[in-house]
Structure 1
Amino acid sequence: MSTPERPFASYHLWSLIAPASGQQRWHCQMRRGYIKARQHEPQVRALLTKVTSSQRIGLLAQKGVYEFHHHRYLLNQSDGVEKVAELLRLSNSPSEVQQRVLQILKKYHDKPLLSGKRIVLLTRGDEGFPKPILIDQKHYCFRLYAAMDCIFIESSGNLHILDFKTGKSAFDRRQALVYLLAARYLYPRHKAIASFYNLEFSKKSELISVTKSELDLIELELASIAQKHQQDLQKYQQQTQKFSQIFPPNPGYHCRFCPFNSICEFSAFKASQTV
């Protein structure tokens, strides 16, 4: 058996291990098992590669912001929205996706949030996994993954990490905390703040900042998450038949929205379909 890689942590893994506040009853560890332990199985891989309309809208919206600032003159042209839509090949998308993304592009063209900002980083959203940050302390060591949408410098000199959202999902503060921890290693000379911006509803979150001692606690929490997940993976590799014990299911109405409901033997949605 191959030697397992060094433990890793990310906001995505944090969200798979621990639910957001108020979401406990809908949280299922088995979903983490499918995504992180069985992702190479053909059936699971096929489900993971499916892109939902919501995911497509989010990605196209991010790409749209990128294109507006990559070709800044488009922000000042009356047909800028149409030009960006062409760059995104939006006409190849389903009707609902086209309509929602066009609305997002129009809103951004009318009120470009990043106009005049000193942009340090602006991603297209499809670059794949970023290079991990190796966090190597006396009592723990793990790789931290933090794929950030946008970073710019405030007039105060602060580094502002901005994460774009679409749809009606609530902002999860933990995502910003992971980005702030990453900034401590990537931009050690800057004080960093973070926020979310919903491109679809033009909604800003509060500004999120933390102290050094709070960042230390976040780092400890992520080290613990990385270690727990690594231990779970090792248990599964040693006893694959104990999948449901290592990654226990939590069936319920929320199974309806799980991408694995067609192959999960515990899915309440699957069971209701066969009655």
Structure 2
Amino acid sequence: MSTPDQPFASYHLWSLIAPASGQERWHCQMRRGFIKARQHDPLVKALLKTATAPQRIGLLAQKGVYEFHHNRHLLNSEDGVEKVAQLLKLNYSSDEVQQRVLQILKKYHEEPLLSGKRIIQLTRGDEGFPKPILIERENYSFRLYATMDCVFSDSSDTLHILDFKTGKSAFDTRQALVYLLAARYLYPQYQAVASFYNLEFSKKSELISITKGELESLEFELASIAQKHQRDLQRYQLTNNSFSKIFPPNPGYHCRFCPFNSICDFSSLKPAKVHLPR
């Protein structure tokens, strides 16, 4: 097998390795194994391609915001919501997805958060992996991936990184911190802040900022995460029969929300084996 590429880090990898505060009991390292070590297995690959309703809603909501600002006249048009829904081909989605996305589009049409802002970057959400940022220091090097939904300038010297959310999940500050580290390299001329905005509930987070010293500590932590993950991948490639030891399972009620429960040998949803007497 080929040697893994240079270590990489991202908010997604960080969330797979370490749970958010208060989520420890539901965290499962085997999920990381499926996503990052066995992603080319046919069964895993098929499951990764299948988007859940919450994932579809999040992606279509992001695309909707993009279309409103890509076709600015739609923000002031009475049929703007219907036009954007057509651009999104929303009628091909399930009833739940259609209803929730339409509500999001209506809310945004009534109160367009980015109206009047100097938008530097606004993504559709389906562009794929961004170009990595190569971070090299004397003691470590890794590639940093940071997919930012929206970047705009608040003033001449302040950059605002905005991440859109849907659903009821809590905001994870770690995601904003990764964006602020990326901004240090992508937009060094700016002071940066970050925030979250839930398009479904019109809920804003507080502004999140970070000091230079905190950025350096964050960079070191992400380098450690990148190195740990690379070591795990190397161990798996050498002895792939040790999958459950390298990526230990944590079965429980949360298995019902895991996309891999149908192929996971440790899923709590699998019926227990019954040994009949001979």
TM-score tier, shorter chain, comes to over 0.9
Matches within 5 A, 1:4-83: 4-83=4-83
| Paired AA for residue 218 in structure 1 | L
Matches within 5 A, 1:151-166: 151-155=151-155, 157-166=157-166
Aligned length: 275
Bigger drift between 224-233 and 150-159 goes to 150-159
- Show CA shifts across 1:65-112 (max 9, x none): 000000001100111000100111111111111000000000000000
Other-structure match for 1:269: 269
| Paired AA for residue 268 in structure 1 | S
| Paired AA for residue 74 in structure 2 | L
Partners in 1 of 2:96 and 2:211 — Cα distance?
A: 43
> 1:4 Cα shift?
1.9
> 1:271 Cα shift?
3.0
| Paired AA for residue 163 in structure 2 | D
| Paired AA for residue 77 in structure 1 | S
Task: Indicate the percent of aligned positions where both proteins have the same amino acid.
Answer: 77
> 1:269 Cα shift?
1.3
| Paired AA for residue 213 in structure 1 | G
Q: TM-score, normalised by structure 2?
A: 0.97
> 1:238 Cα shift?
0.3
Query: Structure 1 73/245 Cα, relative in aligned 2: closer, same or farther at 3 Å?
Result: same
- Show CA shifts across 1:234-272 (max 9, x none): 000000011000000011111111111111111111236
SS in 2 for 1:270: coil
Matches within 5 A, 1:105-254: 105-155=105-155, 157-254=157-254
SS in 1 for 2:245: helix
Partners in 2 of 1:195 and 1:273 — Cα distance?
A: 48
- Asked if structure 1 preserves the Cα contact closer than 8 Å seen for 2:57 and 2:100, the reply is yes
SS in 1 for 2:270: helix
- Show CA shifts across 1:160-218 (max 9, x none): 00000000010000000000000000000100000000000000001000000000011
> 1:2 Cα shift?
1.7
SS in 2 for 1:67: helix
Partners in 2 of 1:218 and 1:44 — Cα distance?
A: 32
Partners in 2 of 1:67 and 1:137 — Cα distance?
A: 40
> 1:48 Cα shift?
0.7
- Show CA shifts across 1:138-169 (max 9, x none): 10000000000000000353000000000001
> 1:3 Cα shift?
2.6
Partners in 1 of 2:118 and 2:16 — Cα distance?
A: 34
SS in 2 for 1:249: coil
> 1:130 Cα shift?
0.2
> 1:274 Cα shift?
9.1
- Show CA shifts across 1:15-37 (max 9, x none): 00000000000000000000000
Query: Structure 1 115/3 Cα, relative in aligned 2: closer, same or farther at 3 Å?
Result: same
> 1:222 Cα shift?
0.3
Give the gaps of 5 or more residues in structure 2. none
Does 2:65 match 1:84? no
Q: TM-score, normalised by structure 1?
A: 0.98
Partners in 2 of 1:207 and 1:192 — Cα distance?
A: 10
Partners in 1 of 2:121 and 2:66 — Cα distance?
A: 10
Bigger drift between 208-217 and 2-11 goes to 2-11
- Asked if structure 1 preserves the Cα contact closer than 8 Å seen for 2:3 and 2:234, the reply is no
Partners in 1 of 2:272 and 2:152 — Cα distance?
A: 49
